[in-house]
Chains A and B, each alone.
Chain A
Amino acid sequence: DAGVIQSPRHEVTEMGQEVTLRCKPISGHDYLFWYRQTMMRGLELLIYFNNNVPIDDSGMPEDRFSAKMPNASFSTLKIQPSEPRDSAVYFCASSQSSTSRGYTFGSGTRLTVV
Chain B
Amino acid sequence: DQQVKQNSPSLSVQEGRISILNCDYTNSMFDYFLWYKKYPAEGPTFLISISSIKDKNEDGRFTVFLNKSAKHLSLHIVPSQPGDSAVYFCAGHSGNTPLVFGKGTRLSVIA
| A contact residues vs B (CB 8 Å cutoff) | 4, 33, 35, 39-45, 48, 56, 91, 93, 97-101, 103-108
Contacts and interface: CB of A to CB of B under 8 A. Distances in A.
Interface of B: 6, 32, 34, 41-46, 49, 89, 91, 93, 96-104
A11 to B, nearest CB: 14
A42 B22 CA distance: 15
A45 B93 contact: no
B43 A33 contact: no
B103 A103 contact: no
- Main SS at interface, chain B: loop
A105 B45 contact: yes
11 contacts: A39-B103, A42-B103, A45-B100, A91-B43, A91-B44, A98-B98, A99-B32, A100-B32, A103-B99, A105-B44, A107-B42
Nearest to B102: A42
Contacts of B6: 42
A91 B49 CA distance: 21
Given A43-B102, A48-B98, 10 more contacts: A33-B98, A42-B102, A42-B104, A43-B89, A100-B91, A100-B93, A104-B43, A107-B42, A107-B43, A108-B41
